Amino acid sequence: MWLWLRENKTWLIGLGGAGLLFVYGVIPTLQPAHFGRVYAAYGGIFIVSSILWGQMVDKKKPDRYEVIGAGVALIGAAIIMYAPR
């Protein structure tokens, strides 16, 4: 979606992005675990994938605080998902 909206790429790129966003939104609802936990895990993964996207596609090297923050997000998501209850 970003490429289509901000960088004037073809509408097919926008359609593909919209499809991916839709799937990204639907997949958590299909998981057997508690929705809040699944959504928290997706949040951690989204943060990391956003930084990786920026590095690979936009050629923006993440600084140490982005890397540390992504690590904290993943640790937090792991605690939410796997803490004994």
Cα torsion 53, 54, 55, 59: sign = positive
Q: Mean pLDDT across the stretch 18-35?
A: 84
Q: pLDDT for 27-81, tens place per residue? A: 878 888 788 888 888 888 889 999 998 999 889 999 999 999 999 999 998 888 8
| Beta strands in the chain, from DSSP E residues, in sequence order | none
Q: Is 90 exceeded by the pLDDT of residue 5?
A: no
